[in-house]
Amino acid sequence: MSAAEGPLVVGVDTSTQSTKALVVDAATGQVVASGQAPHTVSAGAGRESDPRQWWDALCAALRQCGDAAHEAAAVSVGGQQHGLVTLDERGEPVRPALLWNDVRSAPQARRLVEELGGSKAWAERTGSVPGASFTVTKWAWLTEHEPETVRSTRAVRLPHDYLTERLTGEGTTDRGDASGTGWWASGTEAYDEEILAHVGLDPAVLPRVVRPGELAGTVRDSHDLPFSKGTLVAPGTGDNAAAALGLGLRPGTPVLSLGTSGTVYAVSERRPTDPTGTVAGFADARGDWLPLACTLNCTLAVDRVATLLGLDREAVQPGGSVTLLPYLDGERTPNLPNASGVLHGLRHDTTAGQLLQAAYDGAVYALLGALELVLDEDADRGTPLILIGGGARGAAWQQTVRRLSGRPVQVPRAGEPVALGAAAQAAGLLTGEDPAAVARRWNTAAGPVLEAVERDRETLGRITGVLSDAAPLLERRTEAQPHAESRAADDED
């Protein structure tokens, strides 16, 4: 380990398939040690993980960091959003966690929206119209299908809450992650008692919402982590809010994240309320807002198409008139939880490379359509689009985003923005700085800017037409949905 100028901090990213830990010099942003360990997601009808695997993976990742983790003065956890963790009176999981990409609660989501005033009322109240990803719909599903689990539950947590509580012994969350539950009201910045009563959830089982910059607790004695007792623990946050911190985002700068899921978001000083449900009105981890749109099908879906075609993921070819909507796992944007993939326009002369390019186009299309709704009306449309996630360094992804967006694209050199954002939050706890300012001091967003190219409006128009014409098919549930294969990539991979 090289000599550090300032105190060390640890940033954690616990995502769908793995937990990563970075030990960072708070003075310079230099990563002095890192570790990563996997966990698994169930196959079958749902998407579930045992939270104890996240803890085991965190321990393993920190052991890989060696003495540097033990020397850290503060730690923060960023984690996958929306997941429903149910704990018993001993703090042990009652059942595996229902993850963000478990869409079994789509019927409950529709009912909740109808029963509590409709989409506009939900958007005004919570900032979002809940879909099957949101925690409140998963609790409603659990109440309906597993009442014995509900009766045994004494605490309800999100994934990052679970790990933070195992560190400190105290049940806490933050406004960024709480805003993705569907039971936290963005207007009042408090739990919504009417929604909780409607779904039969006692507010006493929920974690305390820690304010930005507030201490969540300190590392307790009775655990097996290589932290010193008394190490400061920051509030942590959801993965997208952590990435926004890690990039040091200022209002109006758009981000497109290419992982298992695709997301577009930007920091805003205005509380978002989109009654269409396309934009989730999340809070950020600082006190502003993080309007965000998310798709379920991104890098993993495109990689699956490449595998079916026997091609390398970069083996795309231009031309042709084929359209592919890669909705292999249902879809969230647009809101089509029962959808499957749709292929249209196949000809004798269509090549495998053109089919693969069509999969990229279909995956990027929905994200760019939502981008205009995410950005404030007065945002500068010439600001480079920051590209992050596992797909960000792929040439095919970069060129597809440039061609369909018509915007310059910036690719930060620094990897792991979620873990870096958590580390910046931990550093801010020590120094009293705004975590986003810490990340800007670390220059985390620096990277090459790819110039804008002419926007491919022909392809965009063709996809729009196919999406409209295929609406009846996309609403129809197929026998194999949800998919039977477990996801094989991380949400940032």
Residues 411 and 398: their CA atoms lie apart, in Å, by: 9
239 is catalytic: yes
Residues 58 and 11: their CA atoms lie apart, in Å, by: 11
**Residue in 239, 303, 361, 491 annotated catalytic:** 239
| Among the listed residues 209, 226, 203, 213, the one whose alpha carbon sits nearest the alpha carbon of residue 60 | 226
Residues 325 and 357: their CA atoms lie apart, in Å, by: 11
> Other CB atoms closer than 10 Å to residue 451's CB: what's the count?
9
| Active-site annotation, residues | 239
